[in-house]
Structure 1
Amino acid sequence: MSAFWIAHVHVTDADRYGEYAKRATVAIAEHGGQFLARGGGFTQLEGPERERHVVVRFESRAQAEKCYASSAYQEALSYARGAAERELVIVDALDDT
């Protein structure tokens, strides 16, 4: 069953966060992640407003977790720390039909 990374982000240092995004894109692709949404086009209905929202599909929750734990992603993530306020969850898909 596929799974999704869902992230909500408020960027506080655009240069450092840009470096994170560039490096994270490579790490995510190496783990089969496919971006379904990435950026700022949205309508805020509830909760704290964040200017960036990202949805990435992986073949499974295990693959999504493996990507997050990978050395390549953790190295990329070091650029996001202190450069953004983020929430990231992994959510299982309902089904693959």
Structure 2
Amino acid sequence: MSALWIAHVKVTDEAAYGEYAKRATGAIADHGGVFLARGGAYEQLEGPDRPRNVVARFPSLQAAHDCYYSDAYQEALSFAKGASQRELSIVEEIA
């Protein structure tokens, strides 16, 4: 069963977050991930407003998990930690 990364982000440092995005894209692709949404228009209905919303599909829960804990993604993540407020979840896809 495929899985989704669902991220809600408020960027506070564009330059550092841009470096994260560049590096994370490669790590995600290396684990079979593809972006379904990456920024773009959105409507915040509940919870804290995070104007950047990202959804990536992975071939399995394990691939999504392995990507997050990979050395390449953790290196990328080091650029995002001081440059954003974010939530990230892995969700199993049912269809």
TM surpasses 0.5? yes
Match for 1:50: what amino acid?
R
Q: 1:22 matched to which residue of 2?
A: 22
Q: After TM superposition, list the pairs within 5 Å mapping 1:1-97 onto structure 2.
A: 1-95=1-95
The letter of the residue matching 2:92 is: D
Aligned residues: 95
Runs of at least 5 residues in structure 2 that lack an aligned partner in the other structure: none
Give the gaps of 5 or more residues in structure 1. Answer: none
Query: Following TM superposition, by how much is the alpha carbon of 1:87 offset from its aligned partner in structure 2, in angstroms?
Result: 0.1
**In 2, Cα distance between the equivalents of 1:41 and 1:20?**
21
**TM-score, with length taken from structure 1:** 0.95
Give SS of 1:64's match.
Answer: helix
Cα deviation per residue 1:37-91 (whole Å; 9 max; x = unaligned)?
Answer: 0003101111111110000000010000000000000000000011000100000
Task: Letter of the 1:74 partner, please give it.
Answer: Q
TM-score (norm 2): 0.97
Looking at structure 2, the residues matched to 78 and 48 of structure 1 have their Cα atoms a distance apart, in angstroms, of: 23
Deviating 4+ runs (over 3 angstroms): none
Q: Distance in 2 between matches of 1:59 and 1:84?
A: 27
- Report the aligned-residue RMSD: 0.7
**C-alpha distance in 1 between matches for 2:50 and 2:81:** 16
Identical counterparts, % of pairs:
66
Query: Which amino acid in structure 2 is aligned with residue 51 of structure 1?
Result: P
